A and B are shown apart, each in its own frame.
Chain A
């Protein structure tokens, strides 16, 4: 069986600076795959390239059997790849409901959209309570919920989450991670970028460790969780 997402020798540069230096990995349907790594390793750059916001220097990206190279960002969503970006990036002056509706921008089935809105409100009740409120007035954690809910509204085949736990209180972080676990249990395929390596690896089927633009270590979540070098570098042990 071929993987849902297949990345082969991907290189991405900002001007002359190569931020991603030839990485390869894949995501199978139903899996949670995580990219972990220190600041500036190239994780966000990788996700932004997959969703079409950045053009790769070289390399091949296959998604659901089709090449993504050269496809503009707004068409990639239609193919089933959703991206909840770093820093949440909700639309602050639109309401929560409007943000969610934008997640379903390309869908035409209004009944289905309504149902998925309800599903988002069930997943995150606070969003339902405040649906008419401007999204910019939400707390950081609530904005993260909205960003995830919005990404789910496109009914993605693959959900990419860029540091969903960034800047959140420990309790909020736990909540978000529990939601990701719930999505996984429902069969959602997820590519998760995290700095919180412990939480991410515990959830993940596969993990890849990135350092300055390259994948330096790969394995199952459990393998990496118990790997000595990972424990030292990312789990704060010595």
Chain B
């Protein structure tokens, strides 16, 4: 039977994962005003990259050694694909009508799915992901967290805090803020905006790979199409938080995760709503939340109004 603390924990776990993916959408949008619809697939390839790394490692290796290597391997794959997409698919289209890069992104998303489906061994079926040692932690009687879920609860805040620190204090971070606010003028300051764009794609790719590993641990497997729904949810989270705002992406992820968790558990308790509870309706509630926010606060929870961005 579900309980409030458990549902909140589930929501946080799910939301942390959404938030990590959402950072990639929001950073890229903030700097080049592009919705990178292939980002869900970058998350997926990060998961497969981590799995591949694990499979290459000798049998019976300690997860304490394997985990960092999996993050590096998955991160490398995701970053290379994200940066490659920017360099060879999106950059040539800069300045083209908005529809062109959007369609390219959707095409790239399908191509990546199909590539993994066709060429990754046994990818027709879910590929079993390694598990973290430790099993389940009983925090209290009614709150239980799996070790694989604990991973994202630690990784997401670490990633987020590092990013915030980087953007606020480093020279490159300052250059990123300037580029997001006014790319032409940023160039007049001597900022190589192409380099900044590559860095935004790379950071988004790495965070997506971390989320891909988190997904593998939580679900126990990775699939070629896992990026579709997760990507859509993360995009929702980015819009919910205010697209272009990195703190908004994390907040949007958490709000979305919590809303899903709570709705799944409690909607059915409302008289007359009993058929709307359960996991099958979770996404419906997530998207209803998105529609409500767009209606009443179109700039998202932490977004500036468009006039401020000019």
Interface residues of A (CB under 8 A from B): 51-53, 72-75, 77-78, 82-83, 85, 89, 91-94, 98, 101-103, 105-106, 136, 150, 154
If A53-B184, A85-B185 touch, whether A94 touches B178 (CB-CB below 8 Å) is: yes
Chain A residues near B308 (CB, 8 Å)? Answer: 92-93, 136
If A91-B177, A93-B177, A136-B308 touch, whether A105 touches B182 (CB-CB below 8 Å) is: no
* A150 to B188 Cα, complex, angstroms: 10
* A98 to B170 Cα, complex, angstroms: 12
Of the candidates A82, A105, A154, the one having the most CB atoms from chain B within 10 angstroms of its own CB is A105
* A102 to B196 Cα, complex, angstroms: 15
Checking A53, A77, A91, A150 against B181 with a beta-carbon cut-off of 8 angstroms, the contacting residue is A91
B174 at the interface (CB under 8 A from A): yes
Q: Which residue of B lies closest to A84 (CB)?
A: B188
Chain A residues near B189 (CB, 8 Å)? Answer: 74, 77, 102-103, 105-106, 150, 154
7 examples of A-B residue contacts, CB within 8 angstroms: A73-B188, A85-B184, A89-B182, A94-B174, A101-B174, A103-B189, A105-B191
Of the candidates B174, B178, B189, the one having the most CB atoms from chain A within 10 angstroms of its own CB is B189
B193 at the interface (CB under 8 A from A): yes
Are A94 and B181 in contact, with the CB atoms below 8 A?
yes
Chain B residues near A53 (CB, 8 Å)? Answer: 184, 187-188
B17 at the interface (CB under 8 A from A): no
* A96 to B177 Cα, complex, angstroms: 14
Interface residues of B (CB under 8 A from A): 171, 174-175, 177-178, 181-182, 184-193, 304, 308
Q: Which residue of A lies closest to B304 (CB)?
A: A93
* A53 to B193 Cα, complex, angstroms: 12
If A92-B308, A93-B308, A136-B308 touch, whether A74 touches B178 (CB-CB below 8 Å) is: no
With both chains docked as a complex, state the minimum distance between the C-beta of B68 and any C-beta of chain A, in angstroms: 34
Chain B residues near A93 (CB, 8 Å)? Answer: 177, 181, 304, 308
Chain B residues near A77 (CB, 8 Å)? Answer: 188-190
With both chains docked as a complex, state the minimum distance between the C-beta of A74 and any C-beta of chain B, in angstroms: 5
* A83 to B187 Cα, complex, angstroms: 10
Are B185 and A91 in contact, with the CB atoms below 8 A?
yes
* A51 to B187 Cα, complex, angstroms: 9
Chain A residues near B193 (CB, 8 Å)? Answer: 74
Chain B residues near A154 (CB, 8 Å)? Answer: 189-190
* A89 to B309 Cα, complex, angstroms: 11
If A105-B175, A136-B308 touch, whether A92 touches B190 (CB-CB below 8 Å) is: no
Are A73 and B187 in contact, with the CB atoms below 8 A?
yes
* A52 to B187 Cα, complex, angstroms: 9
If A91-B181, A93-B308 touch, whether A98 touches B187 (CB-CB below 8 Å) is: no
With both chains docked as a complex, state the minimum distance between the C-beta of B193 and any C-beta of chain A, in angstroms: 7
Chain B residues near A82 (CB, 8 Å)? Answer: 188
Are A74 and B190 in contact, with the CB atoms below 8 A?
yes
Chain A residues near B186 (CB, 8 Å)? Answer: 102
Q: Which residue of B lies closest to A103 (CB)?
A: B189
* A77 to B192 Cα, complex, angstroms: 11
With both chains docked as a complex, state the minimum distance between the C-beta of A144 and any C-beta of chain B, in angstroms: 14
Chain A residues near B304 (CB, 8 Å)? Answer: 93
The 5 A-B residue pairs with the shortest CB-CB distance, nearest first, are: A73-B187, A106-B190, A77-B190, A89-B185, A105-B189
Are B188 and A51 in contact, with the CB atoms below 8 A?
yes
With both chains docked as a complex, state the minimum distance between the C-beta of B188 and any C-beta of chain A, in angstroms: 5
With both chains docked as a complex, state the minimum distance between the C-beta of A101 and any C-beta of chain B, in angstroms: 7
Chain B residues near A94 (CB, 8 Å)? Answer: 174, 177-178, 181
With both chains docked as a complex, state the minimum distance between the C-beta of A75 and any C-beta of chain B, in angstroms: 8
Are A102 and B174 in contact, with the CB atoms below 8 A?
yes
With both chains docked as a complex, state the minimum distance between the C-beta of B302 and any C-beta of chain A, in angstroms: 13
* A136 to B304 Cα, complex, angstroms: 13
Chain B residues near A83 (CB, 8 Å)? Answer: 188
* A102 to B193 Cα, complex, angstroms: 13
